[in-house]
């Protein structure tokens, strides 16, 4: 249920409402804007007489949530969620550019790419230390040593870090080095992992699953939100369809749909969305025009010899040109870099 508190209600009165509902076994989540307090009461409410709750002095309105993802919905939080990571306010008018290699391969590679993407205008460096690969014989990442390298390279160029975690047991380790913890498409509905990444209180980049509906994606975000972490970034990275020419089908419809349904920031990964280097820039431009809050792009200083995802990685000069184009589009749609 969603409760709207009367304007001017005292803080003790709001606390009393929350306490009485908690005693009934419900979990309470609060948001506030312009003095208007909203409470989301979630859990088994069979023991609650909501008609009685409506008569409580501090309560103005009680209504069922219009969607199952209550905390992720605009019904609970009408304003956009904005939070700062490094030099970027994610979800604001400022677009966030996350760029870097699919996998951290070594010190020289990471530092070269960090210099290139920072020089072009990125504020977050992406890079995988633990890699979920389709083949068990493919490069699986450098593990903690890869995280150390990624952190040093990013720090040398004033960048924040985003890196993927694959297992609940890795979360604390990844969170020591990364400013944003990424949950990949294969793990979108790994509930144990979602609960664990919520616990470390770092921003969570949640990629859409390969065959996930928008509602399923938002329900996965709800798992993180309901466990106390409100800093969730949704990442559209393409879904699997009957089309085989591209790696995935990048669902740009999802951007305005999610923006209407949810207050959470949405970024787009055109690298995985297309799987083809020459398609990354057109889809990145389209994503910004459609209202995305940023981009996640794979960049490699020698993409033809990358240990993973070389065919979809941009060379540094291609990324620099793309940022120039994005800057022009951003101005048209009221955004900045």
| pLDDT value, residue 35 | 80
Domain ranges for the chain, please list them: 2-63, 83-332
Q: Are 4 and 10 in contact (CB under 8 A)?
A: no
Integer CA distances (angstroms), 4 to 1, 18, 41, in order: 10, 12, 11
Cβ neighbourhood burial of 331 (10 Å; 0-12, 13-18, 19+): exposed
Pick the closest to residue 308 from 140, 112, 113, 115 (CA basis): 140
pLDDT in tens, 216-239: 999 999 999 999 999 999 999 999
Tokens of 231: 């800093």
pLDDT in tens, 13-51: 999 999 999 999 999 999 988 788 999 999 888 889 999
Record: fold of 2-63: Alpha-Beta Plaits (3.30.70)
Helix/strand/coil for 146: helix
pTM as predicted? 0.94
Question: Using CA atoms in the order 93, 249, 197, 205, what is the torsion angle rounded to 10 degrees?
Answer: -20
Q: HSE-up of 302 (CA within 13 Å, CB side)?
A: 11
Task: Look at the chain and count its residues.
Answer: 337
Tokens of 147: 């995280």
Domain 83-332, second-level architecture: Alpha-Beta Barrel (3.20)
The ranges of the chain with pLDDT < 50 are: none
- For 136, phi and psi rounded to 5 degrees? -70, -10
| pLDDT value, residue 137 | 67
Q: How far apart are alpha carbons 116 and 323 in whole angstroms? A: 12
pLDDT in tens, 136-150: 767 777 899 999 999
| pLDDT value, residue 10 | 92
The CA-to-CA distance between both ends of the chain, in Å, stands at 38
Tokens of 316: 């540094």
| pLDDT value, residue 141 | 78
Q: Are 171 and 147 in contact (CB under 8 A)?
A: no
| pLDDT value, residue 34 | 78
Q: How far apart are alpha carbons 296 and 307 in whole angstroms? A: 19
Cβ neighbourhood burial of 244 (10 Å; 0-12, 13-18, 19+): exposed
Q: How far apart are alpha carbons 15 and 20 in whole angstroms? A: 9
Rg (CA), the chain: 21
């Amino acid at each position: 249920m969603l409760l709207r508190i009367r304007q001017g209600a005292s803080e003790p009165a709001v606390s009393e409402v929350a306490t009485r509902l908690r005693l009934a076994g419900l979990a309470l989540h609060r948001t506030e804007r312009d003095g208007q307090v909203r409470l989301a009461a979630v859990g088994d409410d069979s023991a609650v007489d909501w008609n009685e709750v409506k008569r409580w002095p501090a309560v103005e309105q009680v209504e069922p949530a219009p969607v199952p993802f209550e905390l992720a919905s605009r019904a609970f939080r009408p304003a956009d969620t904005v939070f700062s990571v490094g030099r970027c306010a994610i979800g604001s008018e400022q677009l966030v550019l996350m760029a870097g290699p699919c996998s951290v391969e070594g010190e020289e590679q990471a530092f070269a790419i960090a210099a290139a993407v920072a020089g072009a205008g990125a504020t977050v460096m992406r890079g995988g230390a633990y890699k979920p690969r389709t083949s068990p014989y493919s490069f699986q990442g450098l593990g903690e040593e890869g995280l150390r390298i990624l952190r040093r390279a990013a720090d040398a160029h004033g960048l924040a870090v985003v890196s993927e975690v694959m297992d609940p047991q890795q979360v604390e380790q990844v969170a020591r080095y990364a400013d944003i913890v990424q949950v990949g498409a294969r793990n979108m509905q790994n509930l144990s992992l979602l609960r664990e990444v919520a616990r470390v209180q770092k921003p969570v980049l949640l990629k859409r699953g390969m065959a996930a509906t928008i509602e399923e994606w938002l329900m996965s975000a709800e798992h993180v939100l309901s466990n106390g972490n409100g800093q969730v970034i949704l990442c559209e990275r393409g879904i699997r369809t009957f089309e085989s020419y591209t790696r995935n089908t990048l669902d740009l419809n999802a951007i305005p749909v999610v923006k209407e349904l949810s207050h959470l920031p949405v970024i787009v990964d055109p690298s995985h969305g297309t799987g083809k280097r020459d398609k990354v820039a057109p889809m990145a431009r389209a994503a910004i025009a459609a209202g995305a809050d940023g981009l996640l792009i794979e960049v490699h200083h020698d993409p033809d010899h990358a240990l993973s995802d070389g065919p979809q990685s941009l060379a540094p000069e291609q990324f620099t040109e793309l940022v120039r184009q994005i800057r022009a589009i951003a101005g048209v749609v009221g955004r900045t870099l």
